Structure 1
């Protein structure tokens, strides 16, 4: 009996030592990739064109379709997701017959300097790709174990997605030079399913609460309303609820509801199970007497609250560049609304400022949340913008953006 107990203890010690060695081999002191992600208007434009080229919504359910996905756009999307959801970075390379991904994720529970550096290689087959190689740090993981690790990781994501159903949709994936060609059977209910999956049941419940309140506020005879009136009313409700709930979640729900409303997007599409989703009446919502400012402000606030300020800044700048090439023209006052909205969104979901921002927005006036813009240049065609301000790299442009930043920093919402 004594020898058996000694054997079990020795075996346990060996297994523990093996796990410790594997952990040491897996964890690196330095990241292989820089986790900082900065999107540019050019990158935003490329992703937009990718989505437009492969928009499947006109297809009938069950019909086969093919999407060609470029390496640069996929790399951008994956890298931004790694940065936003895990604080890390990734890099993707597509070669004939295979796809390789590197990723760096920080370990918050490890002493400073602890990182997991992943490398995974997917090999093309006659149908779906298979894992050809997988390593973490200095540790090479057998492909069978790697397959189970990937499935386990997908199951741990906070997303209610039927991965098996999604996998059945994809019929074949081919890797050619710098491109992935995906053949799939389109399902018309997929957008609603994915939209709902991206939100937890708690988040959907909060959206219903504020959507119902917004529906109440928009009833009546007024064709126009001030943004501050909606902000005040919704954040007053958030303050009341915030005493018993999480201020960050409440604030994010308010911003989602308002941004969807002013951009005329149907929140009900994200809630396929809610047949009686409250529907606010369409009104013109004004900020500084302008409806476009409201959209700039709230979309930027939502992007900052949901996806981080680099994306919000890049999207706002991308729109202005597009406007200068045949739209309404480049407008610094629109950028001021973008920056002010970004500032509000950041503070609304930061743990140390969420409650104070909530209380301010419950009573805020326009001057508390939006800088003066009447003297800022607008409606400039691209040629005039380049002549007057030297383009995005010009000193005059930087000076004007510096002035906008100073005005935003002076707002009550920023203090």
Structure 2
């Protein structure tokens, strides 16, 4: 993506600047005699034109390059970071974002300085106002190209407001620099006056926005029993055969979520959300301390938002900030650019794009999430955080002990795999009578991954084996094969553990488990059988923890004797041990048409397994 955009940026900027490169001493002399302009200023501009043109092309290219590759890291927060963020964590995030934005805007200001130097000599030919228009037009074009190169697509209007402001400030400084020492010295008082005006505006806005008392409403009470019900609602229900997730939350549920979030960030704050007739009425009193005294930022918003297949639209009917009411005309002008900015932002559009639809109906909000990361990991993470479940290590340790201590009488051969899985879910069913079946199913599969997948799974979960249990497991839990293949057992359970632990662990720890699967292959080449085992493990993890109903249903199915076809189909006929050249030639690599067809066949076979549906 970047090479094309960076190259286009460089060529367009260079072409625009080269258009006016012809100049000569006679032209300078003739124009100076007609306009009476100071010779020193034009001489300075003449000396700066070509260095500025070269520098602006290089700077634009560098900003596109560095911005495009750096942009994803600006919001590089693992899922647990968002779910478990508290006030210090959010403060750290804000500081980092301010630093990133500050350095980015400094680059646009530098472009403004260079643009004035590069185009400043054109006043002699086209006049002062025409030159000003050219500089402004160049700013819009260059800022649009740079921001587009950083985002990887055409930017929305909201993406250009701050860059154009920084560009204009830079052009102002550039004008003073070429006009001489007096103009440079005059910059100090001008900046001082500008900062003074901004400071006065900030004080006025702060005085109007901050109030001594919060808004007069009672927030929704937060209780553990209600939290668990809310957590189960967030897990939603299955919507269709492709594992889309439908979540319906009432106004009370949303207030519960907002209250939990505010309790982490600002315990003295409160909020209330009401949904009536397809419109949301939101009130927020955010507690601050100003000179040691409590003050409140009171916000009141009324409007609606909806998403249709990843397309966001926003309607704002009312907004008041403290004593200030924003006119509805301004809201009508601002709301569409905000929605457009969100739709075009590389990070936010991935979140919005993961949502099939959002509807405000009656007194509730109904959301359908598409299959993907947000559906499979982020929502379960929020549900776990809200429910206040204990650390996974505690129940996992109990499951490990149960499986290891009962391993003396395991059957031989193929039956060992099915029997261990049966015992794990039978134990999970018994513990779920007075507990959470989702937590118990997670713990059961992670315990199996520790014992049968790879020892490094334990380094991610935490210590669950003592020396005695480790010795017993090494003696009794060898030779557990899936369809006669020990490596498929490892792929099955490690993949299941990755899918489960990703809901609460950081990305670097999950990366350790991702490496495990590749390391276990021993460099033998690509195997569609391994891929089938991976996908089967992930699917079992998904079904076992999707919601309370699916968790209990799977316990009932696997807690009794079952054939291996229940959890894994026959895949011995799939291609194995393909080296890179063979894989590319026969299947077109990952994403090739033949590859996609075979993956679809694997998914079809998995869909025939009763426990994976």
TM-score, normalised relative to structure 2? 0.36
Cα distance in 2 for partners of 1:388, 1:273 equals 44
Q: Measure how far apart 1:389 and its partner are.
A: 0.6
- Indicate which of 197, 209, 215 corresponds to 2:398: 209
Offset at 1:337? 0.8
- Residue 328 of structure 1 corresponds to 524
Distance 2:517 2:391 in 1: 36
Secondary structure of 1:285's counterpart equals coil
The alpha-carbon distance between structure 1 residues 98 and 203, as it changes in their structure 2 partners (threshold 3 A), is same
Supply the distance in 1 between the matched residues of 2:495 and 2:254 (Cα, whole angstroms).
Answer: 32
Residue number in structure 1 paired with 2:596: 398
**Structure 2 CA distance for partners of 1:375 and 1:76, relative to 1, 3 Å:** farther
Q: Does 1:339 align with 2:535?
A: yes
Closer/same/farther in 2, CA of residues 93 and 370 from structure 1, 3 Å limit: farther
Cα 1:200–1:140 change in 2 (3 A) is closer
* 1:208/1:332 CA distance change after superposition, 3 Å: same
TM-score, length-scaled by structure 1? 0.51
Q: Is the 8 A contact 1:296 1:316 kept in 2?
A: no
Q: Distance in 2 between matches of 1:83 and 1:334?
A: 33
Tell me the CA shift for residue 200 of structure 1. 6.6
Partner residue in 1 for 2:119: none
Task: Give the conservation status (yes or no) of the 8 Å contact 2:457–2:494.
Answer: no
Instruction: Return closer, same or farther for 1:260/1:109 CA change in 2, 3 Å cut-off.
Output: same
| 1:31-83 residue CA offsets vs partner (Å, 9 max, x unmatched) | xxxxxxxxxxxxxxxxxxxxxxxxxxxxxxxxxxxxxxx96896686244457
Range with greater deviation from structure 2 (269-278 or 219-228): 269-278
* Equivalent runs, 1:259-270 vs 2, <5 Å: 259-262=449-452, 263-265=454-456, 267=458
Aligned to 1:11: none
Unaligned ranges ≥5, structure 2: 1-68, 103-248, 262-283, 293-384
Sort the Cα spacing of 1:411 and 1:329 in 2 relative to 1 into closer, same or farther, 3 A: same
Q: How does 1:70-109 map to 2 (within 5 A)?
A: 78-81=77-80, 98-99=99-100, 109=254
- The equivalent of 1:361 in structure 2 is 558
Q: Does 1:370 align with 2:568?
A: yes
CA distance in 2, matches of 1:400, 1:273: 38
Taking the aligned partners of 1:371 and 1:209, their CA distance within structure 2 comes to 30
Larger radius of gyration: 2
Distance of aligned partners of 1:93 and 1:287 in 2 relative to their CA distance in 1, 3 Å threshold:
farther
Q: State how 1:9-408 maps to structure 2 within 5 Å.
A: 78-81=77-80, 98-99=99-100, 109=254, 203-219=392-408, 226-262=416-452, 263-265=454-456, 267=458, 278-279=469-470, 280-282=472-474, 283-307=478-502, 327-351=523-547, 352-363=549-560, 364-408=562-606
What is the aligned length? 265
Matched-pair contact (CA < 8 Å) for 1:316–1:338: no
Question: 2: CA distance between counterparts of 1:372 and 1:346?
Answer: 21
* CA distances 1:186-211 after superposition (whole Å, capped 9, x unpaired): xxxxxxxxxxxx99756443223211
Q: Would the aligned equivalents of 1:330 and 1:381 in 2 still touch at CA under 8 Å?
A: yes
- The aligned counterpart of 1:189 is none
Hey, what's the Cα distance between the residues in 1 that align with 2:75 and 2:484?
37
Q: Which residue of structure 1 aligns with residue 364 of structure 2?
A: none
Is this contact kept in 1: 2:74–2:97, CA < 8 A?
Answer: no
Contact 2:567 2:609 in 1 (8 A): yes
Tell me: CA distance 1:80–1:74, structure 2 relative to 1, closer, same or farther (3 Å).
Answer: farther
- 1:27 alignment counterpart: none
Deviates more, 1:212-221 or 1:394-403: 212-221
Contact in 1 for aligned 2:529/2:576 (Cα 8 Å): yes
Q: Which residue of 2 aligns with 1:154?
A: none
Change (3 A) 1:233 1:407: same
Aligned to 2:217: none
Q: Specify the SS of the correspondent of 1:392.
A: coil
Which residue is equivalent to 1:410?
608
Q: In structure 1, the residue corresponding to 2:480 is in which secondary structure?
A: strand
Task: List runs of 5+ in structure 1 lacking aligned partners.
Answer: 1-69, 117-136, 146-197
Shift of 1:234: 1.7
User: For each residue in 1:272-329, what CA deviation from the matched residue of structure 2 results, as whole angstroms up to 9, or x when unmatched?
Assistant: 6996774342222211111111111111222222326xx9x999998888899x8111
* Cα shift at 1:246: 1.2
Contact 2:491/2:534 (<8 A) preserved: yes
Compute the RMSD of aligned alpha carbons: 5.1
CA distance 1:83–1:301, change in 2 (3 Å): farther
